[in-house]
Amino acid sequence: MAGTKFDKIDLKILKILQENSKITNLDLSKKIGLSPAPTLERVKKLEQTE
């Protein structure tokens, strides 16, 4: 993960998932203020980050 840059939304997603890893994509999207599709894309991108 060295050199990986996270924006404010990515950091917010990570914080929420640390608190509740079982949150649905719909609930997560509501908490961060994005629609479900881009939220899912960001989560998948974060999962692939090494």
**pTM of the prediction?**
0.87
pLDDT tens for the chain, residues 1 to 50: 556 789 999 999 999 999 999 999 999 999 999 999 999 999 999 999 87
Q: In 1-50, which ranges are E strands? A: none
CA 39, CA 48: separation in Å to the nearest integer? Answer: 14
Dihedral of alpha carbons 33, 35, 40, 42, sign: negative
pLDDT of residue 29: 99
CA 24, CA 38: separation in Å to the nearest integer? Answer: 14
CA 49, CA 19: separation in Å to the nearest integer? Answer: 20
Domains delineated in the chain: 8-48 (1.10.10.10)
pLDDT of residue 4: 78
Residue for token pair 């960001």 = 42
